[in-house]
Amino acid sequence: MASKDQKKVGGFFASIASSLSNIGTAMHNSVNGLVGYEGLEVINPEGGTEDAEEEASKGRWKQEDRDSYWRMMQKYIGSDVTSMVTLPVLIFEPMTMLQKMAELMEYSYLLDQADQCEDPYMRLVYTSSWAISVYYAYQRTWKPFNPILGETYELVNHNGVTFISEQVSHHPPMSAGHAENEHFAYDVTSKLKTKFLGNSLDVYPVGRTRVTLKRDGVVIDLVPPPTKVNNLIFGRTWVDSPGEMIMTNLNTGDKVVLYFQPCGWFGAGRYEVDGYVYNAAEEPKILMTGKWNEYMSYQPCDMEGEPISGTELKEVWRVADVPPNDKFQYTYFAHKINSLDTAPRKLLASDSRLRPDRYALEKGDLSKAGAEKSSLEERQRAEKRNREAKGHQFTPRWFDMSGEVTPTPWGDLEVYRYNGKYTEHRAAVDSSEGIDEVDVRSIEFNPWQYGNLATE
């Protein structure tokens, strides 16, 4: 477990990294060849020639693409680019933000264990490990598609979990999600705020995530750390999430505070997470340590935060096996939620799986993916004009605006509440034997509430 002094050193090296960028490439081979440092990873914060070549080999950027994109993007430096910039499809992955929200369900068994657990501090060990588990997916550097207003994603075939998400606002872009099984209910209102810094992007999660453990009605609130995407255009793109994750038991005041170490020069501290579960009096009860892309472990501790004699460090979560050499670094679960083969019966026509741009990219047709993306965006604009001409407002189908505004570290958030209608819809579909089975591939993507308007 890293000490506070170690954390300060890591931050110091991170802060002086830019002044060393000129020697980064020259040191690459010699440093990686050091005996006893097989796991060492050189991270050049400002990118380098070798990094650029590696990215180009993945099909992300050609040099001419980088140069033209850089000229276009310079005017946005310092701005929130969440919804104001049209991005080239070559930097996308074949998944939407709504599907990425569903990736939190991969290790939902940890929430089941939290619900069944008697120890209030272990409940926070399980729930915080669940919250950290999704960061393996967040390290992917491909960009997911922004959802179309009214777009949805549904998952009903994973360990008894039913999940629904919906794009509830276009400006600003906001999504809402709800998941539930016999042990827990998960509710999220998601709104991202960004700051474009040239070759990097700061992402602030202006959202609210709540987990309710059903047995005792325990409500746990999550505040995640911000994320930084480095070397967006020049160099090898990589993601870091330095800062604190805080999960609070709103019933008791107990909480867990986990510190995500910033990545230092040569990759020092990258992925490392450590912290404590505290009682309501802010006394440490359990220490936690691990790497957000591999595993998390825990051990009871004394009032000074030191491990209690006679106890041992136990692993609570480890990332599942992943496909070797997967182009988009998807887990088996990510492939599952992206597949039409696992779509539920009578899939909603607004489901992300049906997006023609996403599907074309999955099949490797970048030209068609780009054309389809442009067509969908123009249809969205045309629908907005039609709606405004009639004096109407968009109304989400599965979520309602609660009227509650909650503060977050990065701004206030209007909270959307699940209205229960999807549960009724899915129950009706599953209980009906009179519904004709339809080949899901024949369903046309249709999130539009005011007509499926053709491109003008």
pLDDT digit string (tens) for 156-171? 978 899 999 999 998 8
pLDDT greater than 80 at residue 113: yes
Strand partners, 175: 167, 190
The model's confidence at residue 34, banded by pLDDT at 50, 70 and 90, is: very low
Nearest one of 229, 195, 208 to 85, comparing CA atoms: 195
> Does some domain include residue 325?
no
**Peptide bond preceding 172 in cis form (omega within 30 of 0):** yes
**What would the pLDDT profile of 280-336 be if each residue is shown by its tens digit?**
999 999 999 999 999 999 999 999 999 999 999 999 999 998 899 888 889 999 999
Q: What is the pTM of this model?
A: 0.83
Tell me what the mean pLDDT of segment 381-385 comes to.
92
Task: Write down the pLDDT at residue 234.
Answer: 72
pLDDT greater than 50 at residue 39: no
**Total Cβ atoms within 10 A of residue 375:** 14
**What would the pLDDT profile of 202-246 be if each residue is shown by its tens digit?**
888 888 999 999 999 999 999 999 888 887 777 777 888 889 999
Task: Write down the pLDDT at residue 350.
Answer: 97
pLDDT greater than 60 at residue 22: no
Greatest Cα pair distance, the chain, in angstroms, is 72
> Does some domain include residue 151?
yes
> Does some domain include residue 354?
yes
> Does some domain include residue 264?
no
Query: How is the chain split among helix, strand and coil, in percent rounded to 5?
Result: 35, 30, 40
- Report the alpha-carbon distance of residue 152 to residue 277 in Å, rounded: 36
Task: Write down the pLDDT at residue 54.
Answer: 57
**What would the pLDDT profile of 346-379 be if each residue is shown by its tens digit?**
999 999 999 999 999 999 999 999 999 999 999 9
> Does some domain include residue 89?
yes
Tell me what the mean pLDDT of segment 103-128 comes to.
97
**What would the pLDDT profile of 241-288 be if each residue is shown by its tens digit?**
889 999 999 999 999 999 999 887 767 778 999 999 999 999 999 999
* CB of 125 closer than 8 Å to CB of 298: yes
Question: Could you tell me the two tokens for 64?
Answer: 């001419």
Tell me what the mean pLDDT of segment 72-76 comes to.
69
pLDDT greater than 60 at residue 131: yes
Coil vs helix vs strand at 257: strand
> Does some domain include residue 297?
no
**Total Cβ atoms within 10 A of residue 69:** 17
What is the residue range of 384's domain?
39-240+334-429+444-455
Task: Write down the pLDDT at residue 66.
Answer: 65
Task: Write down the pLDDT at residue 119.
Answer: 97
pLDDT greater than 70 at residue 36: no
Segment (H or E) for 432: none
Provide the mean pLDDT of the chain. 83
Nearest one of 260, 258, 265, 318 to 288, comparing CA atoms: 258
pLDDT greater than 60 at residue 57: no
Task: Write down the pLDDT at residue 2.
Answer: 43
* CB of 247 closer than 8 Å to CB of 127: yes
- CA of 124: how far to CAs of 40, 246, 255, in Å? 32, 10, 7
pLDDT greater than 70 at residue 150: yes
For the chain, the domain total comes to 1
Range 156-176 burial, b when 16+ CB lie within 10 A, else e = bebeebbbbbbbbbbeebbbb
Question: Could you tell me the two tokens for 49?
Answer: 């020639």
- CA of 326: how far to CAs of 1, 2, 228, 313, 393, in Å? 31, 32, 23, 32, 42
> Does some domain include residue 290?
no
Q: Rg of the chain over CA atoms, in angstroms?
A: 23
pLDDT greater than 80 at residue 174: yes
- Most confidently modeled of 116-130, 256-270, 409-423, 432-446? 116-130
- Report the alpha-carbon distance of residue 65 to residue 90 in Å, rounded: 10
> Does some domain include residue 105?
yes
The rounded percent of the chain whose pLDDT value lies above 70 is 79
Task: Write down the pLDDT at residue 437.
Answer: 73
